[in-house]
Structures are given as structure tokens and as C-alpha cells.
Structure 1
Amino acid sequence: MCGIVGFVGARDDAREVLQAMMDLIAHRGPDGQGQFLEGPVALGQRRLSIIDLEGGRQPMYNEDENLVVVFNGEIYNFQSLAEELRAAGHTFATRSDTEVLLHGYEQWGKGMLDRLRGMFTFAIWDRRENTLLLARDHFGIKPLYYYQNEEGELLFGSEIKSFLGHPGFHKELNEDQLSLYLSYQFSPGENTFFKGVKKLMPAHWLEWKDGQATVQRYWRPEFKPDDAPSLQEWEKAISDTMQESVTAHKIADVEVGSFLSSGVDSSYMAALAKVDKTFTVGFANKQYDETDYATEFSKHIGVKNYAYRITPEEYWANLGRIQYHMDEPLADAASVALYFVNREAAKQVKVCLSGEGADEFFGGYNIYKEPFTVSWYDHLPLWLRRSVGAVANLLPPVPGINFLVRRGRPLEERYIGNTNLMGERRKRKLMKHYTGNCKPTDISRPFFEMTKGQDPVTRMEYCDLNLWMVGDILLKADKMSMANSLELRVPFLDRKVFELACRIPTKCKVNAQQTKIAMRGAAEMTIPAKTADKKKLGFPVPVRAWLREEKYAAILRDAFATPAAEKFFNTKELNRMLDQHVSGKRDNWRQLWCVFIFLVWYDEYFVKR
């Protein structure tokens, strides 16, 4: 696990610039660093040593040194690929997974990408062809950003902040992203909050040659439900596949631990992995604390649990640092708790397993129950539902109103993912420069077009797999683990697991009463039924309660009085929403938190720096 940076564009100070970029992501790899500079290209890597501690140094070369690579991630099938490549005549100098990328590219070109099983971003420079290839893994577990300036220089890196070390990077806010963020709570799509900086999207490669960058998708996930197997057969298949995936994800030359909350995903993961240590965080408020459960469950599976309770003071004190590490604003309050559990785990191990991906693969979100609740309403004429929803949207938010508003529109118009914090009406009142040029559905619509004819749950899963999971779940998993120099591995997000999950019919995933039906059944083969059947809670964080205390509400009032708040928002409306929340008249905490976190992030990148 590492961080990579680089650029293409000849400059006299290339070595110093590359080092400055590498220093800005030193937290991703405190165990070592390496550089390659030749002609117009500069490649840098910071290393967190996990596999082949001595032989896996980067940059790495193939036999004739025609190819050079810097790599971030893990290839879990590298041993079988290495055997295949040796049989084809390739000679390996190390036992690291990095070297498989070089020989694989020699043998199969870009076709290598479809053979890889793992999480990765990498850059390969072909010295003979003067060509740079960048690539990102199938699900977007590892991030990669790129930027091309007017001078024609191409910059890339595992984190946007690395670009701040390059004189050719012109830092400018992309204000168009703000409106999308206020709905999604993260920065969706390929654009970022930095003008000109793009994300290389999951399952994409970028090739730079002769000053031109070409981007292309090399793989696309597809759901292909199969009604033939029984529920019991699916449960057995999940159990077998997950055991194999966890075994593959434990390959390391260092100790591996596991995160543990009170949910089925992490509990199942910890039990399958048979690690020696689990890690949990909670809060002093029992309603938001999972540490007692984690201690009890860890004893049940015979491992030691390390639990840590976060104080309100340290939660709030670390918000700036966390948003700096995030690169772009992320208003998921659970990301802060994730920072602390990674911090605590990093004191004991260098690698941890986590349960991300189970919900998108196996139907885990409570919103997926929606098509099965009050289903008769969807059979009413659309014009009637639209009319009722339009009227309901003008009424105060009392119970039942949200249902009428949501169900008054077709799925592809109302569903953009797990969060839809603010509609256009709310944003128009709140934003100083609202344009409405890009609506949230402009981002989600292509994914619904790709799933036409499929059932509503499958369509929501596909949307979440491409948006919510990448922009929120995996972003915070990578950034919060790397901020603490910890490698996080996600065995649910595995190609072999998806090849199974994509065939499971919706009836074996979710109904009106339960989510992750088949996966919970598989988990019951390993963990107690009361744990496997536990209702999904997410990562409970007491921000809603804190914001009803004047002590913490005052922090938001101060933020809403800053020049940045005045620049972007109608602060009178913000304070009115805060007063409503403090008094208990409305539950506005998510919307308030979203604006506040943007201001915290903006302060880190455009005021302090």
C-alpha cells in the first residue's frame, strides 16, 4: 500500500517538484520512497511496506528496464498470475505483487487489467514508446486524480493535495460542484471541487502520448439475476466465496486486524478472518456506542478487542485535519469516527479488514425496502402521484409528507443514492449563486439508463455502486486509513464476490421486512443468528444531539459568520435553520452539517493555504 504521484512535462526543477509532491502524501507511505525522472516524465512513490518488505521497493522495472511502474494497492491473485507469466517466459526478480503489473503489461498490454483481482492504481511509463498508462481498479477502492494545465503538463496523484507542490498547478475553486455536493453530501462524478482536477473513475485507464490524454472504461459491473438456485444454495455459495475472499485478502508479511462494529458485515468479517485483534470506536452516550457489543462479540470469537470512546471535544477539534485529508468536503459524520478507529488500529497493526461493499452487493440499505412498502401507491397514475407530490412538497415536513413527495416521481427522478439532502428549492433559497445548471439527476441518470427493464432494487444498487459507494464509502475508507498510515482491505469488494452477488435475485436480497437476506443466512453459518439478523444502523454519531446544545451550535454560528459563508450562502437562512434545529422544531442537522463541513474544508484549502 502506497501513495503515487507524478507528472509529464519537462522542467529544470523536476526532482525538487516531485519531492514536494511526495512530501504532501508522506502519510500514505512512511516506510520509504522512490523516484524516477527521465526526459519529460517524473514518477514518485511513498511506501507502506506490506508484501516483500525488502524486495518490493519502487519504482520497479521489468527485465530490460523498458517499463517502469509506481503502484498503490494490492493484487490478491498475483501469485497465480506470476506462475502464468513465468510459464510464458518472464523472469521475476522479486516476490512482490508490483512486479506482476510489469510482466503482465508486457504480455497482455491493457488486457492485463481484466485479469487483475485487487485494489489498485498505478502508473506505467513505457520508455521506448514514451507513453504513460494510468489505471484504477474495478470498483474504485483506490483513488487517482489527474490535471492537465494550459502548458500541456499532466499531473497525477493518489491525493489532490499533492498537486499543491507543483508550480504548474493553478488552484481554483470549482463552484459548480457545490450545488451537487449539497444534494449528495459528497463530490459526485469525475469533476472535483478544484477546477480542472478530475478523478480517474473506477474501471478506467488513462493513456498519455504525444501530449494527448485518452480516457477509457475497461470493465462495467452488471447485475444478471438467476432465479434457479434456492435461497439455501445462495447462502452456501456466499459462505464459500466469502471465506475464499477473506483468505486472499489476508495475504501479507505483516499482522492483519479487523474493524468491528455492532453490524453483521464487520462481525461476519472478523469471524471469517480469524484475526487476533479487532478495533472499535464509540461514544460516551450509550445510544451511539458499540464498544460493549464489540467486547462481547470479540470474546465470543476468541480475539482481543481494542475499544476507544471518542469525546465530543476531540471529535470537533479534528474536523479541520480530517477534511484536509479528505481532499474534497465529505459531510458523512461517520467519517470522523472512521478516522479515530483507523488511528487506534494503526497503533497495533499495519493492515485491517473492513466490511465496505456488502450493502451494494447484497441489498443492505433500508431504502431498498421502499419498493415493497405501500406498493399499491405506485399503481396509481403517474400524473396523479406527481400532482399530490407537488402539493405535498409545499407543506411542512410532517410524517407522511416525504413519502408523498418521493413516490410522486419515478425512481430515476427521485433516487440519486443513499442521501438526497437538499432539493433544488432548498438550494435556491440557501445558495448565493444558484444556477441549476447541473442537477443531481444529471449525474445519476446514466446509471438508470443502463439498467432499464430491471427491478427497482437492482437499479438502486447499480446507482449506489457507481456513485454512493465510490464518492462516500470508499473515499472515506481510503483517506481516513491512509491519514493514519494504515492499509484497509475490503473483502466484500472483490471480483469473485461480485460475480456471485450479481446473479442473486432481488427476492433473496431484500423484502419489506429484511435486507441482505441471503448474506445474513450465510453469516449465520459462522456467527450467532442475533448478530446476523441485526438491523442496520450505519455508524451512529451524536451530531444531531450535539447541535441541540448551544455549546456546539455556537461553533456553527461562528462558521456561518465568516466571509466564506457570506460569499457562498444566504447566512440568514442558515441561522434560521439552526434556530429551528436547536429549538427542536425541525431536524435540520444533516443539511446544516453539510454546509458547515464545506466551510471547514474551504478554510483548509482556500483560507489557510
Structure 2
Amino acid sequence: MCGISGSYGFGADTEDIARRMNACLAHRGPDGEGVFFSGRTGLAHRRLAIIDRAGGDQPMTTADGRYTIIYNGEVYNYLELRAELEAAGRTFATDSDTEVLLQAHAEWGTAAYDRFNGMFAFAIHDAETDTLTIARDHFGIKPLYYWTDEATGRVLFGSEIRALLAAEAFEAAPDDRAVYRYLKFRAHDDDDQTFFAGIKRLGAGQAMVVDARGVRIEPFTRLQDELREIASRPGRPYSEQVVDEYRERFLESVRMRLQSEVPVGTSLSGGLDSSAVAAVIAKHLREQPQDEGYAAVGARQNTFSAVFPNSRNDEERYVDALLSDYQGQITAHKILPSATEFLQDLEDFVRTQEEPIISSGPYAQYAVMREASEHVTVLLDGQGADEMMAGYNPYFYVYLRQLRRQKRFKDLASEMVGSRDILRKLARTKFSGRTSVPIEALLNSGFVAAHAEEKVSSVQDDLKERLLEDTFRSSLPSLLRYEDKNTMRFSIEGRVPFVDKELLKFLFSLDESAIIHDGWNKRILRESMFGILPDMISKRRNKIGFTTPESEWFRNNAAALREIFASDTFASRPYFESRSVLAMFDDYMANPDKYGTLMFWRLLNVELWMRAFFDQDAAPSAAIEGAAASAPGVATAEPDDAEGDDAEAPKSDYDPNPEKQLDLVSTVDGHAWRRFPLQTGLVGRGDDLEALVRGHVERFAAGLPADALPAGSPWYFVISEKIVAISQGRSWFTWEITPRRSAKVLSRFVSRTPAGIGLGDPTTMELAIREVGLPRVVAASAVGAAGKVIGKRGLFYQVVGNNVRAIDGPTVYSAFPSNVSAKLPPKDPDAVSARLSAAIRAADIPAELRESFAGTVVMDANDIGRNVLGSDVQVAGDRLEATFADNPLGQGRQRTPLAILVDLGEPGTGRPGDRARRWTRL
């Protein structure tokens, strides 16, 4: 295991570039380094010595000087290949697998690569032709990134992206498409484009040839096509003999990966896959302790497990079951990652991964590798078994659809009965009651629009084809990336026995019943481990995976995470709608069971990734280090600490919103009116509005400046109909509303307002039909259509009524959740006004304020129009509506749905109103 890097076509800068790139990869190879220069090529190598520690230094050149290699990985069948090459007349100067690869290329060219069984990324320079050939193994276990400049023919490549950045040949920039696909679909590592513009990854099983003619990339293997061809044939029937053969093949795959001159250990999560690896090694140590093939393991196998006591994610009892069975053959190391350590390590963890990842789960692996590096240099684990043997629950759906497509109804019925507990679990997850918020609600609308055509799909009704897809594109590539980054961060070589091309070919030659049968996935692995694994592991139904108690950690670290979401840098990104993110995070902290954390993690990960790789002067660690140094605890934002328009400190009750004013002279009654917008937190279903209003009025009165509200001036309390409706449970996320056909049809004939208000959307039309009935909506539509013919507008709402007029759809400029929800008008707004007025009169405010209080108004006000829906005052509605003509509340993300409205009287009477400015529509 090593780090490689190189360049082509950089002339006099080649040597400086090679040394800078090599320095970035020191953690991948602390045991040695070397560089090579010839023609247009520069090569650099960092060595982690595993095999032939004395003689395997690199770069390595053939005796005739023609070929030079730098290589990262291990080829496990190198001894067999060496024997074949020696029979062909090749001689060897070392005992390393590196020299076998080099001689194989010299003998067979790129045709040699398909014969390698292992993990590798290497570059070979041909001095005779000044050609550089770069290749990556069949599964992409080892990373290889590259950058090309077509205009000049220059090329950079390396084991890590940071090495390419260190060359300083181009300006680092994020790839917005990759960021969008990650945020929207959780897609990453599924094609050749990385998250860095212009930097790509060489595909699994591909070779890249670089010479004076340019860059050519082509596959060196037909492995995926071979697997499809094998799968298309009738599968070998499942039998005890098949199980025995699989066991032997698996044991051989593990044995091959124990070749080492340094200590070898095992990652043990407690799941079926890693437990199988650890168990077969332990069993062999018990039965054949003198076997030289297991010498690198030692007398006792070192296992490393992340455990989370008292957490739902904890698998310690499964780890302990295996340890109990093999007490004399295992030395166990248990690592207890904590929320505090996670926060302390977060920046390094993000930088280690180089690109955003799907969840914080890989941090458990990061913590394990840190401890393992104190004891071993090579670590085996169970990666890849899930993708090859349907280890995730959604595969059951794929298989059931396949059986239905194939009209195998008897098998379908049997599988549905056998997997009924899995199907129930999937159904419970789907109908868990958690709020599933579309990520678009938290993203910049321009960013979303620019990538609206992006789609991600997966195979739905062919099990083996889906396994292929996930093995080579959708799932395993990202897991292999996590593993490589985490292991090499701590100078450990990770090996994956399940990711073996011969083992996979054997699996695909079997009938699907070897993979899923009677509701059991990984059937052949489970049955091959009977008597080797404890039953509680081999017969496990609940898969947890290598993960962390992310939700608990998020709550423990809430203050630090919130500070990141509230930061200027987060708000400045072209990707996020920062105020909605912060509002939703606050809602999550107040209602942790309402949301999952995956969406928050993706937003957080992108921000920290941007800071790590693109913000030259960023100091992102202040919030993290400060919070990590304090005692962990759950922190939630108080409602009155909501962010302002720019996610800064809360706005004063006595200041206008940005670009608004406090005073206005009404064009209806000529009075001057002062409007104080009051900022609140999010209001949710079932909230006590009377307590909320009383608290805000008391706060307003307590800090009231002497000249802000002239003595004796009558004042009103105004509340947005939105929060009244929300508190009454008359607001829904758009995805919770299923429009009937009539709503879809009728909404086509309604003009959509720029702000999203009105009935031009099927969801709001559906609410209108629910509120007043389909006949009335149809009648109003007919009258409205007739009115347009004769040039009379507004007839629709005259017929359908104000309750429908007040229906709101998702408004893009509003704060979460209004930007993704639709609502009916509040129920009985007059009664609501009366109750709120009573609460205000009972509030702890000065007597003179109580005496001048004139009542409460429920107002629907926005940039398009105003409508008093209810009140307990005698003032005419049009007078009150005119006081909000310039929409002083902003109706935006300021979250100021409350207002103190003061009647200053007629200007020119010596009262404060003569300082007001007359409102004029521009």
C-alpha cells in the first residue's frame, strides 16, 4: 500500500511538481519515498512496506532500463504469475509483487492487467516510446485521480486529490453538478467526475495511455460483461456442495489477503460480513496454529471494533458473542467514539475524505483505524459483501419485482411470506411520521434550476443486474473510497476479501436462491458460516452497518453545528438557502424525532469541504473547537433568537425590516400609522398562540423607547393568518397533499402568481375544493371565465369567498416551512382575535398601554394584496388593510408575522404622525 503521483508534459517544472505532490502523500507511505524523471514524465512514490520490505523500493525499473513502475496496492496471485513469468524466461531481482507487475507488463503489455487478482493503481513509463500507462484494478479498490489539459497535453495523476492540487497547475473549483447530485440524490463516486471541477477518477478496470498524441482511456477487462454473461445462463442449483465450495473459495480469498511481512488484524463491527472474516481466521488459528500462511496474524488475531454503549447503533453484544466463541484466538480492541471526539476530529475527517460523503458513519471507521495503527499495519474487513449478496433490505423489493416480472408467482408468494418482517420494517420506515423535506426547500432556487434536468435511476426488477450496478457504480465505489481514505490517513493497508473477482464470478454462476431465499439475504454466506459463527450473528435480521449514533451526536453538538449553519460563509455559498436551513435545524433541535439527520449532514459536509479546500482565509475551527472544549449538551435555539434577514442577530422590536419603514400615511383615512414588526421563531402545529403573543407584547412593552409610541395613541395587535392557520393544523407540506384529478385540471386555468400564492397549483386548488366543495369552485371558475370575456376581473373570488382567497401555496421567498407548504385560512379568525386580545389585556404591561390597546387583527398581507380575515375591533377593514400597503412585515424570511400597529392620527396636528412619509406605489 502506497501513494503514487506523477505528471506528463510539464517540462522544467516536472521535478518541483513531483516533489510537491509526493510530500502531500507522506501519510500513505511513511517507509520510503522516491522520484523518477524521463522524457515528458515525472513519477513520485511514497512507500508503506508490506511485502519484500528490504527489496521492494520504488520507483522500480527493469534491468534493461526500459520500463519504470510506481504502484499502490497488492496483487495476491503474484506468486503464481511470477512462476509463469519465470517459465517464460523472465528473471527477478526482488521478492516483491511490484516486480511481478512490472515484468508482466514487459512480457504481456496491458493484456497482463486482467490476470491480476487484487487491488492496484499503478503507472508504468516506457522510456523507448516516452509513453505513460496508468491502470486501476477491476473494482476500483485503489484510487486514481487525474487532471488533463487538452490544449497543452499536460496530465497530472495521483492517489489523492490533494496531490493534484499541490501541483498548482490549475485553480481549484467545486464541480456544481457533483454538488447538486450529492445534495439532491445522495449520489457520489458513481461516475468519473469528482467534486472538483476538471479532476476525474479513472474508472474501475480502466487503463489510461498518455503520450505525445494525447490521452486515451479504455477498459483492460471484460469483467462486468463476463458477469452479465454468467448471470444470463441458467444458474447452478443450490445445494450443500455449492455451500461447501463457496466456503472454500471464501477461505482462500481470506488466506491470500494474509500475505504480509507486517502484522495483520481484522476490523470487527459485529455484522455478518466482518464477523465472517474474523471467525474464519480465528478458527484456522485454533485448528492449525503453525500454518505459515497465517504467520502475519500472530498467535492471536487482533480485532478492532467501534462500540457505542446505550446507543441504538451499538453492536457490542454481537462482537462479544464472537469473542466468547474464540477467547483463545482473539485479542479484542474496542474503540468508543464520542460526540466530543467527533467534533474535535470533524475538520480532519472531512479533509481526509477529500470529497463529501453520505453520512458521518465512516467516522467510526476513521476512529477504528487510528487505534488499529498502534497495533497492526494491515487490516481486513467485510466490505463488498452487501453489494454482492443483497445485504440491504431494499434488495428484497428488487427481487420481488423480478419474480413478478418473470411470472414466478409461487416463488413470489413464498418470498413475500418469508420476508414479511423486512417488508413491515420498510413500511414502518416509509410511514414513520418523520417529515421528509425535499432538499430543494433548503437550496438556492437558481442552483436548483440550473441542474433541474439531473436524474438518478437504478435497476428495479433484476437482482443480479442491480448487484452489478451497486458493485461497480452506485454503492461500493463510495465505500471503497471511505475505506482507502480512512486507512491511509493512519498508514494502514485495508484489504477486502469479499471484493474478489473469482469469488464474484462463482456467486453469479449460482441461482438467485443462493443470494435471497425465504426472506433471507446472503443465504450462501450465512449457511457457509454455520458452526463457525455464533447463531445470533449468522441468523441476524437487523442490519446496522458501520455507523455512528449521528442523531445523538448532532443534538450533543447542536451549538457548534448551528454556528456553522448561521455563519457568513455558509450564507455566502451559491448552493444554500441559509435562512431556511437554520430555521429547519432549529425545528429539528426542538423536535428531534421529526426529521432524520442525513440532509443536515450533507449540508454540513459541503460547507466544511468548501472551507477545507477552497476558502483560503477561512478559520472554520472556531465554532468546532470552542464547542468541543465545552461539556457536551443538547442546545436548542429559543424562539425569540431566530435569525434576521441575513441570519445575523435578532432584529430589535423597534426597528423596521430591511428596505422598509416604520411609518406610513394612509391613502384611505389620511392618518399616520406606525408599524413595529416583531420577530418570532417558527410556529408549529398545536403551539399556544396566546402565550406566544402575550410574551412578545410583554417584551415589546418592557423595552419600549420613550418616543416610540405617543401616550394615548390607540394601538392594535396584528397577526399573520399564516401562523394562526399553522397552529390550528391547517397547513401541510405540499407532498402531504394528494390533489384529485379535478384539482389538477382546474389549476391549469388559474394564473400562477410570481410568489406562488393562489390556486395555480394543484395542491392549493385541492385545498380550495376541500374548503368549499367542488361545485362551488367549478361555479366560481365559470363565472371568472365569463368575467374575463367581458373584461371584469375578480369575479372568481367574489363567488368562491375570502376563505379561498386566503389559501396560500408554497412561497419561495418565505422561511421554512412556508416555502414548502400550502395552507387553508385560519378557522374562526374573529374568535382567535378575541382570545388574543384577552391574553394581551392580561399581560404584564403598563396600565396606560393596556388602556390604549384597541384590539387584534388577523391579517393576510403580502406584496400582492391585503385582506383582513378577522378582528375584534370596530375599525373598517379597508382602513386596516391600507396600513399594510407597503407590506412592512416584509413577508420574507425575516419571520416577522406579528406587528404592533399604532394610529398616530392626522398629520399636521402636532402629533408624531407628521413625521411619517406618505406611501406611494412605485
Measured after TM superposition, the shift of residue 595 of structure 1 is 0.9
Give the corresponding residue for 2:205.
203
The CA deviation at 1:544 is 1.6
Q: Indicate whether 1:271 and 2:276 are aligned.
A: no
Deviations 1:106-136 (A, max 9, x none): 1111100111000000000000011100000
When residues 372 and 134 of structure 1 are mapped into structure 2, their CA distance, relative to the original with a 3 A threshold, is closer
Please give the per-residue CA displacement for 1:124-159, whole angstroms capped at 9, x wherever unaligned: 000001110000000110000000135431000000
Aligned equivalents of 2:91, 2:598: Cα separation in 1: 55
Q: Deviations over 1:499-523 (max 9, x none)?
A: 1112222222124632111111112
> Which residue among 369, 374, 398 is the counterpart of 1:342?
369
1:543 is displaced (CA, Å) by 1.1
Cα distance in structure 2, aligned partners of 1:560 and 1:151? 42
In the TM superposition, residue 96 of structure 1 has moved relative to its aligned partner by 0.3
- CA distance in 1 between partners of 2:580 and 2:518 (Å): 38
Which residue identity is paired with 2:550? V
Shift of 1:70: 0.1
Q: CA deviation at 1:462?
A: 1.8
SS of residue paired to 1:306: strand
In structure 1, what is the Cα distance between the partners aligned to 2:406 and 2:515?
23
Between 112-121 and 556-565, the greater mean CA deviation after superposition: 556-565
**Residues 116-265 of structure 1: pairs in structure 2 closer than 5 A:** 116-149=116-149, 150-182=151-183, 183-184=185-186, 186-219=188-221, 220-221=223-224, 222-223=227-228, 224-225=230-231, 226-265=234-273
Amino acid at match of 2:581: L
Correspondence list, 1:57-136, <5 A: 57-136=57-136
SS in 2 for 1:288: coil
Normalised to the residue count of structure 2, the TM-score between the two structures is: 0.58
* Bigger relative contact order (CA 8 A; separation at least 6): 1
In 2, Cα distance between the equivalents of 1:187 and 1:364?
Answer: 20
CA 1:601–1:231: 2 relative to 1, 3 Å: farther
Q: CA deviation at 1:402?
A: 8.0
How has the CA–CA distance of structure 1 residues 5 and 553 changed in structure 2, closer, same or farther, with 3 Å as cutoff? Answer: same
Quote the Cα distance in structure 2 between the aligned partners of 1:429 and 1:540: 25
* 1:15-94 → structure 2 map (5 Å cutoff): 15-94=15-94
Q: How far is 1:284 from its partner?
A: 3.7
- State the shift of 1:310 in Å: 1.0
Deviation, structure 1 residue 341: 0.7
Within 1, Cα distance between the matches of 2:188 and 2:587? 25
- For residues 425-462 of structure 1, the C-alpha deviation after alignment (integer angstroms, 9 at most, x for no partner) is 633652341135476645x56xx5xxxxx953223212
CA distance in 2 between partners of 1:546 and 1:429 (Å): 22
Deviation at residue 338 of structure 1 after TM alignment: 0.6
| Distance of aligned partners of 1:291 and 1:328 in 2 relative to their CA distance in 1, 3 Å threshold | same
SS of match in other structure, 1:92: coil
The residue aligned with 1:542 is 549
Tell me if 1:368 matches 2:377. no
Determine helix, strand or coil for the equivalent of 1:310: coil
- 1:329 matched to 2:329: no
Q: How does 1:254-403 map to 2 (within 5 A)?
A: 254-274=262-282, 275=297, 276-301=301-326, 302-371=329-398
User: Which range moves more in the overlay, 581-590 or 366-375?
Assistant: 366-375
SS at 1:283 equivalent: coil
Map of 2:449 onto structure 1: 435
| Residue range with higher mean Cα deviation, 115-124 or 183-192 | 183-192
Contact 1:231–1:518 under 8 Å retained in 2: no
Query: Of 551, 573, 585, which residue of structure 1 is paired with 2:580?
Result: 573
Aligned CA distance change for structure 1 residues 458 and 48 (closer, same or farther; 3 Å): same
Q: 1:438 to 1:159 in 2, by over 3 A?
A: farther
SS of match in other structure, 1:122: strand
CA 1:13–1:212: 2 relative to 1, 3 Å: closer
Q: Which residue in 1 is equivalent to 2:557?
A: 552
Give the TM-score normalised by structure 1: 0.87
Using the TM superposition, name which of 207-216 and 228-237 deviates more: 228-237
Structure 2 CA distance for partners of 1:494 and 1:140, relative to 1, 3 Å: same
Letter in 2 for 1:464: D
Instruction: Give the CA deviation at 1:271.
Output: 1.4
How many Å separate the matches in 1 of 2:466 and 2:444? Answer: 29
Shift of 1:296: 4.2
| Residue 466, structure 1, aligned to residue 472, structure 2 | yes
Counterpart of 2:181, as a letter, is L
> Against the structure 1 CA distance between its residues 439 and 234, is the aligned structure 2 distance closer, same or farther, given a 3 Å change threshold?
farther
For structure 2, the 5+ residue unaligned runs are 283-296, 408-425, 618-922
Q: Aligned to 1:213, what secondary structure does the other structure show? A: strand
For residues 589 and 403 of structure 1, the distance between their equivalents in structure 2, rounded to whole angstroms, comes to 16
Distance 1:402 1:277 in 2: 37
Aligned residues: 565
Q: Deviations over 1:472-524 (max 9, x none)?
A: 21010100000010000001101111111122222221246321111111121
Q: For 2:462, which of 432, 436, 456 is the aligned residue?
A: 456
User: Offset of 1:598 from its aligned partner?
Assistant: 1.1
| Greater CA drift, 236-245 or 288-297 | 288-297
On the 8 A contact 2:209/2:216 being kept in 1, the answer is yes
What is residue 392 of structure 1 aligned with on the other side? none
Distance 1:375 1:55 in 2: 53
Quick one: structure 1 residues 370 and 455, their matched pair in 2 at CA, closer, same or farther if it must change by over 3 Å?
Answer: closer
Question: Aligned residue for 1:503?
Answer: 509
1:59 is displaced (CA, Å) by 0.4
CA contact (8 A) 1:76 1:117 kept: yes
Q: 2:603 maps to what in 1?
A: 595
Aligned equivalents of 1:361, 1:377: Cα separation in 2: 22
Q: 3-state SS of the aligned residue for 2:73?
A: strand
CA distance in 2, matches of 1:489, 1:97: 16
Aligned residue for 1:280, secondary structure, equals: strand
Q: Using the TM superposition, give the Cα deviation of residue 103 of structure 1 relative to its aligned residue in structure 2, in angstroms.
A: 1.1
Change (3 A) 1:499 1:284: same
Conserved in 2, the CA contact under 8 Å of 1:35 and 1:42?
yes
Cα distance change on mapping 1:431 and 1:370 into 2, 3 Å: farther
In structure 1, how many angstroms separate the alpha carbons of the residues matched to 2:249 and 2:537?
20
Say if 2:126 and 2:132, in contact at 8 Å, map to a contact too.
Answer: yes
CA contact (8 A) 2:387 2:476 kept: no
Give distance in 2, aligned partners of 1:438 and 1:162. Answer: 33
SS of the residue corresponding to residue 337 of structure 1 reads helix
Question: Which consecutive unaligned segments of at least 5 residues does structure 1 have?
Answer: 381-398, 405-420, 449-453
> Which residue pairs with 1:521 in the alignment?
527
**Does the Cα contact within 8 Å between 2:349 and 2:366 map onto a contact in 1?**
yes
AA at the equivalent of 1:277: N
User: How far off is 1:588 after superposition?
Assistant: 3.1
Q: How big is the alpha-carbon RMSD for the aligned residues of Structure 1 and Structure 2?
A: 2.6
SS in structure 2 of the partner of residue 467 of structure 1: helix
Residue range with higher mean Cα deviation, 17-26 or 568-577: 568-577
Provide the C-alpha distance between the structure 2 equivalents of 1:117 and 1:187, rounded to a whole number of angstroms: 23
Q: Secondary structure at the match of 2:12?
A: coil
Q: Aligned partner of 1:426: which letter?
A: I
Counterpart secondary structure, 1:574: helix
Please give the alpha-carbon distance, in whole angstroms, between the structure 2 residues aligned to 1:429 and 1:295.
43
Task: Say whether the 8 Å CA contact 1:239–1:525 is kept in structure 2.
Answer: no
